[in-house]
Chain A
């Protein structure tokens, strides 16, 4: 392949070579020919500006694609970008971190029963807030979106809970709470949160449901323990036991299943 035989690199091949799309064998062949052919070198140079401009355009477009990206990811925007949700998350976090540090007024040491009485109700606020229309950054526009309804509410609640839960467990462990107690509140908390989620599919206000369930749990667990230390220890044994934990899991699963079957009522029927 030399210039002397009158053959020249075809324009499509030259264009592919310019754009860097030619495979190595073809590129080597073109380069060998270019060394000997002034006409093809001129043709290559003539199109170089266009290619450079095109490449620059592509680079610019990819740069703009990166720079123009919204600063927060969509998932984050669904959850924590909304100030009320962020507030609910912070409250849950604060409570989960504080409870293990609260000491028993009678014993003067950390109080596992306080953790069990209060930690499960910390995530309830997140579920309540997740139901509120005004937590959505797009307001009523979001209600007419395909994702509206239970899917959106559940994602918000899950995002908040997923952020608070590991911090709560770690906080309890760091405060010296035994591992069994540090994780034993999770399933009761899940059960209570699921019941509040279910309440959102009824005419009952989720906030009222959360307040009633939270108060019942806190008093039911906390009162006997506060009155008598031995009762508190016995209660912790029961609540941390497999029987109660399985029951809590069953309640949570049943509440979630019922919520799913009643998902129609989350937004479309209830919105006034």
Chain B
């Protein structure tokens, strides 16, 4: 394995005008993004372009146009792309692990693909990452016998191999129970201390608990990029509750208390309430800031 000197940069991900099309549809339509150390959460509805963006950041997919630099390197250049791949971990949306492998065999195989040739190192590292995701006691079970959540954790373990500087996770909490979600948060917080974590999610609770920054995507574009507090602030003064539906609101829904919560331009005398991250996300994803 040839090593090249790491390029020091404060920004882990630098994307400018990133575009990816499938036929006439632009899955990612001119994204500008600058990401440094910490956890960035990608929020957005299905089809917003989160997965396509993550696939480009993981070097699985080449952008049609725009420029992209990862860890200070250009993934469009073969040698630099290999260098980036050595330093990133990737959890795809549907990992599709081979069912007849055991978690240890699978993670060891991924370590081989990551060019780790030292058998003793691989054994230690595979055990470490499997234990870190709570799969240490099942590392010799066949993957086909594991639940969906456990398989997700095995895939996550593979992404954590070698403590990558850039960790890209597409809906990592899928299939995890609440306790496992808590463990995941702790794990990702630790990873974020070493580098950058970019994760896509539908769960604003995860973003609030974990992310230093959040990007809200819609129709292939980033509509908001800032801290969770700034996302909440976009909805401040624009959330109110009433006993009846309000047709003038951008979004209206019934709460568990039986009242209606609205987002938009509040009418005179409206009963304004404190905004939440959900409110901010709904407001931005509706196309308003």
Contact = CB atoms under 8 A, between A and B. Distances in A.
A127 to B, nearest CB: 20
A142 interface: yes
Contacts of A152: 113
Given A139-B96, A269-B62, A144 B90 contact: yes
B112 A77 contact: yes
B64 to A, nearest CB: 10
B12 interface: no
Contacts of A144: 58-60, 85, 88, 90
Interface string A63-100: 00100111110100110011100000000000000000
B188 interface: no
A148 B85 contact: yes
Contacts of A271: 60-62
Interface in A221-272: 263-264, 267-269, 271-272
Q: Name the 10 nearest CB pairs between A and B, nearest first.
A: A137-B98, A139-B96, A145-B113, A140-B92, A70-B105, A74-B112, A144-B90, A146-B85, A144-B58, A143-B60
B114 A146 contact: yes
A46 interface: no
Contacts of A77: 101, 105, 109, 112
A147 B114 contact: yes
B77 to A, nearest CB: 10
Interface of B: 22, 58-62, 75, 78, 81-82, 85-86, 88, 90-92, 94-98, 100-102, 104-106, 108-110, 112-115, 119-120, 123, 127, 139, 155, 158-159
Contacts of B115: 146-147
Nearest to B57: A144
A138 interface: yes
A54 interface: no
Contacts of B22: 272
Interface residues of A, number: 34
Contact of A138 (B81, B113, B123): B113
A183 to B, nearest CB: 33
Nearest to B159: A141
Given A78-B109, A81-B101, 16 more contacts: A65-B120, A70-B102, A81-B100, A137-B98, A139-B92, A139-B94, A140-B60, A140-B96, A141-B158, A144-B59, A144-B85, A144-B88, A146-B82, A148-B85, A267-B60, A268-B81
B62 A268 contact: yes
Contacts of B127: 68
6 contacts: A65-B120, A68-B127, A138-B158, A141-B110, A147-B115, A271-B62
Contacts of B58: 143-144
Contacts of A140: 60, 90, 92, 94-96
A78 B98 CA distance: 12
Contacts of A136: 98
Contacts of B94: 139-140
Contacts, number: 106
A140 B159 CA distance: 11
Interface string A117-137: 000000000000000001011
A134 B96 CA distance: 8
B78 A137 contact: no
Contacts of B110: 138, 141-142, 145
Given A141-B91, A141-B95, A70 B108 contact: yes
B6 to A, nearest CB: 15
Nearest to A137: B98
Contacts of A72: 105
A18 B90 CA distance: 48
A69 B107 CA distance: 12
Nearest to A270: B62
Contacts of B120: 65
A129 to B, nearest CB: 14
Interface string A192-212: 000000000000000000000
A137 B106 contact: yes
A162 to B, nearest CB: 18
Contacts of B91: 141
A230 B262 CA distance: 88
A75 to B, nearest CB: 8
Nearest to B59: A144
A216 B169 CA distance: 46
Q: Taking each of B58, B78, B96, B104, which has the highest tally of chain A beta carbons within 10 Å of its own beta carbon?
A: B96
A268 B112 CA distance: 20
B78 to A, nearest CB: 6
Contacts of A268: 59-62, 75, 81
B108 A142 contact: no
Contacts of A134: 96
Given A71-B105, A264-B78, A269-B62, A142 B98 contact: no
B106 A138 contact: yes
Interface string A157-169: 0000000000000
A271 B61 CA distance: 6
A38 B253 CA distance: 87
A141 B155 contact: yes
